[in-house]
Copies of this chain bind each other. A is one copy, B any other.
């Protein structure tokens, strides 16, 4: 059916071994035979069969990416980063997204055996047992924004803590003292870290001021509710730092309903730098998370592990950039990065 290495060998009047050597650029082939083989291959439009090659070399030149059901910018940025890094290394990317449970992740992992040289996993459902049970033995693995205790896997995460610390610091430096925080959902690692960053920064920089945390769950609506709740507070905060942009935007709507001007009456900041952040009015000051970086660095680490390089450091953090727009009252200025 398809043209194989044998056809090329016959056409060039040599053995398959020579074809293989010539086409893979080994040096033990005469210039003249090499040319004859190359010509024959071109003429027949020969393309090597990946499966056969993988079988014998034990390399697939493919990385598996196991991702949750992601939406929008986050997803596309992540893939963009992974793809860019993969491309420079001549690797392919096998993506599998939108799986709900741990067992589904397990199923995916099993079907990957023999198809990939390593896997990149991002999954809220991942746990050490599931991974141990379903990861083919010794398959190089790198985790992204996924926490699995046990210290067995290389993992990359957004520097949520540092970003939140930096944002709080920015607000403090700008003169705000009463800074409230709208938190994220319970048991969410990102949310916890951002809260911790806020608390630590406040404790360090304004030891006399208490932290003030309003409940939220990352949804626009919870931000809106948090905004309305300000009405009932004894003393209104001077600035609000929402744990993500969607809540900041919901809060912004609530503030405008309450007749409060941003940033004149109250400052506002978010986290994530979603595309919409730039378009609300006033444009939202926020922390940009470098998602593409996380993808490409994760892939790079994985490629190193596949090549047998030891990975001395297991946990890595991806820095964030402070994006100052108008909602915090500061003049817009170039980004500042954590880490």
Does A50 sit at the interface, judged by CB under 8 A? yes
Does A55 sit at the interface, judged by CB under 8 A? yes
Does A51 sit at the interface, judged by CB under 8 A? yes
Selecting from A69-77, A211-219, A301-309, the interface stretch reads A69-77
Does A334 sit at the interface, judged by CB under 8 A? no
Chain A interface size, as a band, is 35 or more
Does A276 sit at the interface, judged by CB under 8 A? yes
A136 to B45, CA, bound (A): 8
Q: How many copies does the complex hold?
A: 2
* Chain A 278-295: CB-based contact to B (< 8 A → 1; otherwise 0): 011100000000000000
- Pair B98/A84 contact, Cβ less than 8 Å: yes
| Chain B residues, Cβ within 8 Å of A281 | 281
Does A33 sit at the interface, judged by CB under 8 A? no
A62 to B96, CA, bound (A): 11
Selecting from A110-118, A230-238, A319-327, the interface stretch reads A110-118
- Pair A114/B48 contact, Cβ less than 8 Å: yes
| Chain B residues, Cβ within 8 Å of A141 | none
A94 to B280, CA, bound (A): 37
Q: List the 6 closest pairs (A to B, CB-CB), nearest first.
A: A49-B114, A47-B113, A50-B114, A51-B54, A50-B115, A75-B76
Kindly list 20 other residue pairs between chains A and B, CB separation below 8 angstroms, not including A1-B58, A92-B115: A2-B137, A45-B137, A47-B111, A47-B114, A48-B113, A50-B51, A50-B113, A51-B52, A53-B114, A55-B55, A69-B80, A73-B73, A75-B75, A76-B79, A80-B98, A83-B96, A87-B96, A93-B96, A275-B275, A281-B281
- Interface residue ranges, A against B (CB under 8 Å): 1-3, 45, 47-55, 58, 60, 62, 69-73, 75-76, 79-80, 83-84, 87, 92-98, 110-115, 133, 136-138, 249, 275-276, 279-281
